[in-house]
Amino acid sequence: MAFQLPDLPYADNALEPHYSANTFSFHHKKHHNAYVTKANELVAGTDLDNASLEEAIQQAHKDGNQGLFNQVAQIWNHTFFWNSMAPNGGGEATGDIADAIKADFGSTEELAAKFKASAVGNFGSGWTWVVLNGGKLEIVNTSNAGTPLTDGMKPVLTVDVWEHAYYLDYQNRRPDFVQAFFDHLVNWDFANANMKG
Ligand code: FE2
């Protein structure tokens, strides 16, 4: 079964003015779609033709197949990023993750400040994540298509810090984009579901 481009979990203008339909028209319809098309080309006729996305990520990582890994991991990472945002999101954490943030970071504000510093310091293209690592909430960076899935960590939230993720709305102002993510976009319900799952 071929990998599919998932629909956005909201209308393409639902996150405006913080994340625009124009950005989604490139980021989802072009960039994300290109990873799907390329991944399907690479697995066609191979043992991974019918693999799940997660299986393909782990196998490509294990085989050192960087070409395939880049495409399948980017499919997964982008889908996870769309779900990390929601209309009227952001603000104070709620639910189980609020307790975990309090225990491991002190406050949502402190988590956001550390996350922002990490995202700003993530040189070049990559991703900044909140993960569960051995039951503790941590902030980690990955480069290029890297994903915490291959390091035994459980992703909870992510922000895409490739320039294509924010350039149309924020130009070179990555710190403003990450701040808007915490102020207006974070989907705490999604984070809480990932804490449980
Ligand atoms: Fe992206």
Domain spans, the chain: 21-84, 96-196
- Predicted local distance difference test score (pLDDT) of residue 123: 95
pTM of the model: 0.97
CA proximity to 163, closest of 26, 9, 60: 26
Inter-residue contact 35 to 74 (CB < 8 Å): yes
- pLDDT of residue 68 exceeding 70, the answer is yes
Class of domain 21-84: mainly alpha
Domain 96-196, classified CATH 3.55.40.20, yes or no: yes
pLDDT band at 1 (very low <50, low <70, confident <90, very high): low
Ligand 1 centroid distance, CA of 163 (Å): 8
| Average pLDDT of the chain, as a whole number | 97
- What is the average per-residue pLDDT within 72-76? 98
- What is the average per-residue pLDDT within 38-64? 96
- Predicted local distance difference test score (pLDDT) of residue 173: 96
Ligand 1 centroid distance, CA of 75 (Å): 9
- What is the average per-residue pLDDT within 49-70? 97
Ligand 1 centroid distance, CA of 130 (Å): 17
Ligand 1 centroid distance, CA of 78 (Å): 6
Write out the DSSP string of 89-141.
--SS--HHHHHHHHHHTSSHHHHHHHHHHHHHTS-SSEEEEEEEETTEEEEEE
Rg (CA), the chain: 16
Ligand 1 centroid distance, CA of 136 (Å): 27
